[in-house]
Amino acid sequence: MIFTENEILKKLFRQKTDEDLIQFFRYFLVAVLSAGIDLSLLYILTEWAGLYYKIAAGISYILGMLVNYILSILWVFDKNRFGDEHSMGFAIFLSIGLIGLGVTLFLMWLFVDILSLYYMLSRCISMGIGYFWKYFARKYIIFDTKK
């Protein structure tokens, strides 16, 4: 079957879907946006507001996580396991995110305080490490409704 460019764009960006590859692609775009927000806020809070990098990393991580959640329920994943009951899905999403926050702060400490890497580079590395774990945890614990 041959698809037009418009049909491909519609399928990738506009239609609700439960196709794994399209969801992974969309999650990647959401993750890039969330990462941009996270990194920008981390830099602003550390360099301009003078916050300690670990506190700034915690705040920026949480904001990025909230953006990720909102876009995930609106655009990435077609359904969640809890139907219209978003509070349970959010609670689990938050739990996964808080575990990710703990891992992020540990890795930031390891890379910055022990290995003497620049805090922004350290945050980028920790994002890369956490990306796949969070995608699969969120997809299969919260959003995947396939049996």
Q: Which of 24-28, 46-50, 82-86 has the lowest mean pLDDT?
A: 82-86
At 81, list the tokens.
């396991």
- Summarize pLDDT for 74-130 with one digit per residue, the tens: 888 766 666 666 677 788 888 888 888 998 999 999 999 999 999 999 999 999 888
Percent of the chain surpassing pLDDT 90 = 45
142 or 26, greater pLDDT: 26
Percent of the chain surpassing pLDDT 70 = 89
Instruction: Determine the Cα–Cα distance for residues 92 and 72; give it in Å rounded to an integer.
Output: 13
Instruction: Determine the Cα–Cα distance for residues 139 and 74; give it in Å rounded to an integer.
Output: 14
**Closest to 57 measured CA to CA, from 8, 139, 123, 131:** 123
| pLDDT band (50, 70, 90) for residue 38 | very high
Please report, for the chain, the start and end positions of each structural domain, with discontinuous segments joined by +. 19-143
* pTM passes above 0.85: no
Helix axes 119-137, 86-108, angle to 10 degrees: 150
In whole angstroms, how far apart are CA 6 and each of 11, 14, 52, 92, 137? Answer: 9, 11, 47, 36, 32
Cβ 141 vs Cβ 92: under 8 Å: yes
Overall average pLDDT of the 6-22 stretch: 80
**Closest to 73 measured CA to CA, from 140, 1, 11, 142:** 142
Instruction: Give how far the C-alpha of residue 41 lies from the chain's centroid of Cα atoms, to the nearest Å.
Output: 15
